[in-house]
Structure 1
């Protein structure tokens, strides 16, 4: 299955909705529109020409473990060398360690391309970028000097080692231990599971960031520390030195992303060094985890874009029956299935969800940039609050959307979608993990309610709602957009009322936190996307009013906005009714009554 980056759509989001050039000017990184577009064109060529052709074989071949060494699928090692040599690995890295300092608002588009082309390939580099963030922010200068430049370049990769057989989401159950040594290092002992890229043949070295307990550490999550444990200990000259006491014990046999090595990692008294303060590992790891959750949300967008492209191509080519209103292709024995309303429903659902989530991701990426690069401390704190509010929505909703859009892709193909040779079923299998790792989507929903909504009594959410309400006010006087703006404004009002009801219910009964969380997150996401679609429609109407030559492109934005508001946004009502059903109907039945 082929892939072409949706460059026109990406430019619309970057330049026309979020003014990426002005954003970069405020951040002071020297990027302008011409350079951004040039980078994206090169990125699109790399993703389509070098990475996408590897995707099918990576699923068929998978990774192999022989005598503790992992071999990645054919072509991955060479593609990774090109990825490093061409500077893609260092795109987001800090300048002082050889990175290029690209902001998230620009780099997210390239990362989406990689995820569309081959999610398995992107897994390796994605975690390295997160590890760089954690080490750069919390590591000692000695560790940064020894490891960061190589990790930023991509020559050395990184992992995140949290999960143990008995400790998934509940890190309080973690058992891996770290014993202090006289020279200031630690001996790390324990086993970790589900470690993406824990062993591979792509990079010269693998730097594991490992959560472990020090002796006499407090119980629970307050007693967790973060350590840097390299596969090869850095030598004095900066090259990989002595082999550390760690190994890959097994590869997981997975449903999807088979080209990504998912390892059981055994640490047998491996040498490591503390990152940050003792017993503060979870706070350090969250630096990495928040980036990872945003990146996983992008994985949902990338998979969905690939599924939509495949479905659209097939719908234009596949001939079946005549249109309900009469013959549409008189020169052919039947009409292409894209003329049928139900196929249009599926394609438009795919398109509006993908593009809506891309807008949401870009908006969140902008906040992540401003959290670190805004001019004033107040602005940085405000952006940090907004990003924190949005991260669980991006992670959960975009990945749920990715699975739905992949499933719709299979459906458009009919029986052919169920057959491996077309590539659609692989996308559906690959996307399924995105709803699970870096915290299941149920955990994201709990985070959204407990740490975001209840933490400040809904203040940050109220500020976000007010931002979109102001957008509605500016569009209400425009005849073409008045109905759309009125509909979005009404939903925003309903969202504010629902937020108040959810807060009150959760304060009365803690069970309501879990009972309302998933539906409230879904409701929030659908209304958020409605706001972004109104923003897109307003920009499209501006272009049409100005006499643009791209009439079809901008008219399509208006048509898509209308479809989303009429045919997708009503899903929010179902989530509202469900969460108002309360916790009682979930918890009333005794556990033994579940027996069969």
Structure 2
């Protein structure tokens, strides 16, 4: 079953579930008309179906490789990236002053979702560039913006981010890469970075690296880190890629999945770099890119879930095994347990996608209005989007293998690739455990105000649905109340007890949010929308109860097991 872009689902979600119309009504995004939205979804869908999707297996079977210091990408990837660039998809949400389209992030999120479904290994390249564009827009000076943004937005150049070092994984403050001032105002960057997605390629004129490094007077830890733009080729006086810079790809990682995406070990040997933002404030600048990427990575998980679901559905509608309850000789999709798996996969995707789009709407509204409430909502939803979207990607891809049975474990069918490819999304851009700790830590530092505003919205929605759909509205309202009580408890605890229940709390919040958006869909939609909402609310939402018991269990029982106990 070939991939088909779910453009109708996106249109329904934008129009009836995540309130995208309020973004259109702002002065900043008046160009995002219904007609423009339809055109974007349609054209992006065609690109994904016809150009990117045929490369899904190609990238896996013909991985990127390093030959004599040159990265050779998978067959067809260069042409596909060229099509992405030519279509303007890299700069959808970028500043029109530098060649971007200035459209809402919400529409870029929808497009990235479809691209992730079609070919995740390739989609990583534009995602990294989009994050770099946003970081430069917010933190670079006008000279740097003029030098780099037009090339990045056009796709002539592409971008990466360089945080991780062998001894400094999630503890970024332990980095050793150094930056020494040059006489001309640039800096000499020296050090090694690992896990650099799309650290090099053979189809763009230049590769621009955002690199975290420490100045000679930089303090220890994250407060002493600065951010630098370090291109593969130093731009000449005309802005073109000029002389080769002092950096190289040392090696490419051999990975579980994403074989078409070169993950590089990068070495910088007094490479020329330009300071982005202020000295010693690199983490703030990098977090702009990381937060953009975290939403994008959550969407990668959702996109792969969609592709894995479609793959499994195609198999289940074709494969015949045993006597079936409907026709007696029908496909395995007629069996109750297979039907359960497929229905829950579809319901999970809809819920996770709604959360990601609602997150993007909040980002757009914060940008357009400057309102603190919208910014707080966007910040609160970001770790949920990232962690839950990628968890669902893994779970749906795993369920897809199960639907295939023994053939799912055989590489020939392609079902296993979805799980292998999506697995890393729960790790990079901040592991899902870190996302959960961020949610119960930084994102509850307001005393839970952002959380409580969301919960009030959920309860109000359930109240409004009681008359029409009482069997669905009541459990959603009750779940929001239970989550409110758990949030009040967490806010009153010390950080260690919060962290001990963080993962369970994040998942519980996602369950309640997912039910809320399914209820909205049921109120606005037809029979199938209501049937899908019933699957989620009756079969998935109840999970929140047990999760919130875990969230309130505290840390003491975990530490009652000593290291020796764990090893016994």
What does residue 538 of structure 2 align with? 566
Distance of 2:190 and 2:132 partners within structure 1: 20
What does residue 491 of structure 1 align with? 479
Q: TM-score, normalised by structure 1?
A: 0.93
What does residue 3 of structure 1 align with? 3
Q: Is the 8 A contact 2:228 2:276 kept in 1?
A: yes
Q: For residues 18 and 524 of structure 1, do their structure 2 counterparts lie closer, same or farther at Cα, with a shift above 3 Å needed?
A: closer
Distance of 1:148 and 1:162 partners within structure 2: 21
Distance of 2:540 and 2:249 partners within structure 1: 45
| Correspondences of 1:129-528 after superposition (within 5 Å) | 129-324=130-325, 328-329=326-327, 334-374=329-369, 377=370, 379=371, 381-453=372-444, 455-478=445-468, 481-504=469-492, 506-507=493-494, 510-528=495-513
What does residue 47 of structure 2 align with? 46
Q: Secondary structure at the match of 2:501?
A: helix
Structure 1 residue 31 displacement after superposition: 2.6
Structure 1 residue 432 displacement after superposition: 0.2
Distance of 1:172 and 1:30 partners within structure 2: 42
Distance of 1:99 and 1:313 partners within structure 2: 38
Q: For residues 563 and 47 of structure 1, do their structure 2 counterparts lie closer, same or farther at Cα, with a shift above 3 Å needed?
A: same
Q: Secondary structure at the match of 1:207?
A: strand
Structure 1 residue 19 displacement after superposition: 4.9
What does residue 111 of structure 2 align with? 110
Distance of 2:411 and 2:472 partners within structure 1: 41
Gaps of 5+ in 2: none
Structure 1 residue 313 displacement after superposition: 1.1
| Correspondences of 1:52-67 after superposition (within 5 Å) | 52-67=53-68
| Correspondences of 1:530-569 after superposition (within 5 Å) | 530-540=515-525, 554-569=526-541
Structure 1 residue 587 displacement after superposition: 0.5
Q: Secondary structure at the match of 1:208?
A: strand
Distance of 2:254 and 2:18 partners within structure 1: 42
RMSD of equivalent CA atoms: 1.2
Please say if 1:586 is aligned against 2:558.
yes
Q: Is the 8 A contact 1:62 1:73 kept in 2?
A: yes
Distance of 1:39 and 1:5 partners within structure 2: 12
Equivalent residues, number: 567
Q: Which region of structure 1 is more displaced relative to structure 2, 4-13 or 575-584? A: 575-584
1:82-101 deviation digits (Å, cap 9, x = unpaired):
22122222222210000111
Gaps of 5+ in 1: 541-553
Distance of 2:498 and 2:193 partners within structure 1: 30
Structure 1 residue 580 displacement after superposition: 2.9
Q: Secondary structure at the match of 2:441?
A: helix
Q: Is the 8 A contact 1:252 1:264 kept in 2?
A: yes
1:15-40 deviation digits (Å, cap 9, x = unpaired):
22245455224234423112211221
Distance of 2:81 and 2:226 partners within structure 1: 32
Q: For residues 21 and 474 of structure 1, do their structure 2 counterparts lie closer, same or farther at Cα, with a shift above 3 Å needed?
A: closer
Q: TM-score, normalised by structure 2?
A: 0.98
1:373-423 deviation digits (Å, cap 9, x = unpaired):
12xx4x2x2211100000000000110011000000000010011111211
Structure 1 residue 579 displacement after superposition: 2.6
Q: Secondary structure at the match of 1:211?
A: strand
Distance of 1:302 and 1:116 partners within structure 2: 4
Following TM superposition, where does structure 1 have runs of at least 4 consecutive aligned residues deviating by more than 6 angstroms? Answer: none
Distance of 2:389 and 2:145 partners within structure 1: 33
Q: Secondary structure at the match of 2:183?
A: coil
Q: Is the 8 A contact 2:483 2:548 kept in 1?
A: no
What does residue 543 of structure 1 align with? none
Distance of 2:489 and 2:550 partners within structure 1: 13
* Higher relative contact order (Cα pairs below 8 Å, separated by 6+ residues): 2
Q: Is the 8 A contact 2:228 2:274 kept in 1?
A: yes
Q: Secondary structure at the match of 1:118?
A: helix
Q: Which region of structure 1 is more displaced relative to structure 2, 25-34 or 142-151? A: 25-34
Q: For residues 397 and 260 of structure 1, do their structure 2 counterparts lie closer, same or farther at Cα, with a shift above 3 Å needed?
A: same
